[in-house]
């Protein structure tokens, strides 16, 4: 990533780190996602997790970048900087620290990733398990000979079957074939076990349905 950022800077661009999903300790190793890569953003954006449901967002940058933006475009926000939003944001930071949620993300995420990789050996449709902390991706591919093809239809079937088992996750990736596991930071070992059991059961049942194995 460092080399890519250097290339952007040489071209006159900025490195913007979007921490809406991977920030606030989710990766388990750093408060911010970019911290795992040893890089320094020019602009950092924060959003939904900052208020734990309350509508709030923030931007952090250097004065010279902000001055340049405002001199060209100006800025206006009806609800910016309200005391209520500030109180909510502070409360979220207090809870993350007091309850050790970044460490919980590291510990539970490490266990969850290890277990997912272990049972991936039993399911040929799992090409890879990747990520850090409570921000994991499980890539699904179609079975058969030749190079594995992305399996978005299978991913959709997995999501719906998990929902029927009262487990909610999403899908991402260029082809929509990567299961995105991004639970609350208070996710426990017991919760992880429930997810693993449900996913294992779903994949075993879908393996018996030929239509679900075909790439979409």
- pLDDT tens track of the chain, all 216 residues? 999 999 999 999 999 999 999 999 999 999 999 998 989 999 999 988 899 989 898 999 999 999 988 888 877 777 777 899 999 999 999 999 999 999 999 999 999 999 999 988 889 999 999 999 999 999 999 976 566 899 999 999 999 999 999 999 999 999 999 999 999 999 999 999 999 999 999 999 998 765 444 444
What pLDDT sits at residue 212?
43
Let me know: does 181 contact 136? Beta carbons within 8 Å.
Answer: yes
pTM for this model (two decimals): 0.87
CATH number for the domain running over 2-98 = 3.40.640.10
Let me know: does 59 contact 44? Beta carbons within 8 Å.
Answer: yes
| Cα distance between residue 187 and residue 185, in whole Å | 5
| Cα distance between residue 112 and residue 101, in whole Å | 16
Neighbours of 104 (CB within 10 A): 21
| Cα distance between residue 40 and residue 37, in whole Å | 9
CATH number for the domain running over 101-213 = 3.90.1150.10
CA Rg value for the chain? 20
């Amino acid at each position: 990533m460092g080399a890519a950022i250097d290339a952007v800077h040489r071209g006159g661009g900025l490195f913007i780190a979007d921490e809406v999903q991977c920030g606030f300790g989710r990766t388990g190793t750093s408060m911010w996602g970019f911290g795992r890569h040893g890089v320094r953003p020019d602009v950092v954006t924060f959003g939904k997790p900052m208020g734990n449901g309350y509508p709030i967002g923030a931007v952090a940058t250097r004065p010279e970048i902000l001055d340049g933006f405002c001199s060209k475009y100006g800025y206006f926000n009806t609800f910016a900087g309200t005391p209520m939003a500030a109180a909510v944001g502070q409360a979220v930071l207090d809870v993350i620290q007091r309850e050790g949620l970044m460490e919980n993300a590291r510990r539970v995420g490490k266990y969850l990733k290890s277990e997912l990789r272990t049972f991936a050996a039993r399911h040929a449709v799992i090409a890879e398990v990747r990520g850090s902390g409570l921000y994991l991706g499980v890539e699904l591919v179609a079975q058969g000979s030749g190079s594995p093809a992305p399996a978005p239809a299978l991913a959709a079937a997995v999501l719906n079957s998990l929902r029927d088992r009262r487990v909610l996750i999403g899908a991402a990736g260029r082809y929509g074939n990567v299961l995105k596991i991004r639970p609350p930071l208070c996710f426990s070992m017991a919760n992880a076990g429930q997810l693993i059991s449900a996913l294992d059961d779903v994949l075993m049942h879908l393996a018996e349905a030929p239509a679900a194995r075909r790439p979409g």
